[in-house]
Structure 1
Amino acid sequence: MNRPMEDRVAQAMAHLKAAEQAAASARAELDAASVTARSTDRSVRVSVGAKGELTSLEFLDGKYRTMAAAQLSAAVLEAANKARAEMARRVVATLDPLTRMTARGAAPERMGVDWESLFGTLLSETEVAKGPTAMSRLRDEIVEDDEEPAAPPGAARGTDDGRRERQEGA
């Protein structure tokens, strides 16, 4: 081989060795990685591993005992999704430099990995959607003891003088 070719092969080998070391380091970092998140109401704590798998689920302060099933499941899902989204961001932060390193010389639009296609909306999630939650729906349904519950339309209700009168709309 001529000298320029030997230099290019030596550079390529050095680049390959650096990429192998970076990959081993990234793998070791991710093998030990774990993310923990809590639900907004602080009733559930969830931990996930590097692949997004659930590694721990804790119900905090006995709050689960007073929660409706739908409320508890919403809290578990919220915490799990928060943890998975944070882990996905960590995986990308760890692997993206490596993928760009190995894509050296490729066209810019082909460099690296399309993380959005791998993780979908998980990367852009920072919080659970802002809408009515199980807890807000529960609060909306609470009737104070000193309030008279609303009668359904068409139902009879008592008047101040003890007579019964029909509600409008019947």
Structure 2
Amino acid sequence: MMEPLEKRLEKAMAELRTAQESVARTERELREASFAVLSSDRAVRATVGPQGELSGIEFLENKYRDMSPQELAASVLEATSAARLKMNRHVMKAMAPFTEPSSDVPELKGFELDWERIFGPEVLLDDGEEAARGGQPASAWRDALGEDGES
């Protein structure tokens, strides 16, 4: 016997409210997140904020004094890019559950996320690849989550 429509609607509204609260809580937590990454030559540590913005740079153990400008620039770029990628993967993984349809209420599809609003206008996803502005980075976010996109 099928559940009455009013009961299904009540259940769906409750689940929707819970999901919206969870998304808001996750977004608040992510706004406080940061990641720091050390360059492979251990000369530079770059720290990025939740939208991948550079929030700190440290030159370690005076190694920069023996580096050419090109070497130092490469270390800074390497550490910054790795920190951004790490942050982006963290954000995508945290938000991924909200993109899935409800298991209890099949009519509730997952939320569509505005990655540009989450990450900023230039969404760095993987080794310099940028998402199309305003679009969902389908294959790249699946790669970041370790999924191949096949069902």
What interval of TM-score do these two structures reach, taking the shorter chain for normalisation?
0.5 to 0.7
Q: Taking structure 1 as reference, are residues 111 and 18 closer, same or farther at Cα in structure 2, changes over 3 Å only? A: closer
The corresponding residue for 1:28 is 28
Q: What TM-score, normalized to structure 2?
A: 0.67
The corresponding residue for 1:88 is 88
Higher relative contact order (CA 8 A, sep 6+): 2
Question: Given that residues 36 and 46 in structure 2 are in contact (C-alpha distance below 8 angstroms), is that contact kept between their aligned partners in structure 1?
Answer: yes
The corresponding residue for 1:134 is none
Point out where structure 2 has 5 or more consecutive residues left out of the alignment.
116-122, 128-139, 145-151
Q: What TM-score, normalized to structure 1?
A: 0.60
Question: Given that residues 85 and 125 in structure 2 are in contact (C-alpha distance below 8 angstroms), is that contact kept between their aligned partners in structure 1?
Answer: no
The corresponding residue for 1:131 is none
Question: Given that residues 47 and 57 in structure 2 are in contact (C-alpha distance below 8 angstroms), is that contact kept between their aligned partners in structure 1?
Answer: yes
Point out where structure 1 has 5 or more consecutive residues left out of the alignment.
126-170
RMSD: 3.0
Number of aligned residue pairs: 119
Question: Given that residues 19 and 102 in structure 1 are in contact (C-alpha distance below 8 angstroms), is that contact kept between their aligned partners in structure 2?
Answer: no
The corresponding residue for 2:55 is 55
The corresponding residue for 2:126 is 121
Larger Rg: 1
Runs ≥4 residues deviating over 2 A: 101-106, 110-113, 118-125
Question: Given that residues 44 and 79 in structure 1 are in contact (C-alpha distance below 8 angstroms), is that contact kept between their aligned partners in structure 2?
Answer: yes
2:37 counterpart of 1:14: no
Offset at 1:121? 2.6
Q: Taking structure 1 as reference, are residues 37 and 68 closer, same or farther at Cα in structure 2, changes over 3 Å only? A: same
Offset at 1:25? 1.7
What are the Cα deviations for residues 38-71 of structure 1, in whole angstroms up to 9, with x where unaligned? 0011000001111111110111111111110000
